[in-house]
Amino acid sequence: MFVKFEYSFFLPDVKYVDFRGIDLKTGNLITQRFSKD
């Protein structure tokens, strides 16, 4: 099972979205970053 939540940052020069999730089986934090172009 995998739980994911999303939050966004809007910085003066950088716009991106981070997707963070916790793998409930291993307890590891998973992060993926996508630019918003």
DSSP per position, 9-26? EE-SS-EEEEEEEEETTT
Closest CA to 34 of 12, 13, 1, 6: 6
CA distance 23 to 1: 7
pLDDT digits (tens, 9 = 90+) for 12-35: 566 667 777 787 888 888 877 777
pLDDT of residue 33: 77
Confidence of residue 9 (pLDDT cuts 50, 70, 90): low
Number of domains into which the chain is organized: 1
- The whole domain housing 29 covers 2-35
What is this structure's pTM?
A: 0.34
pLDDT of residue 1: 45
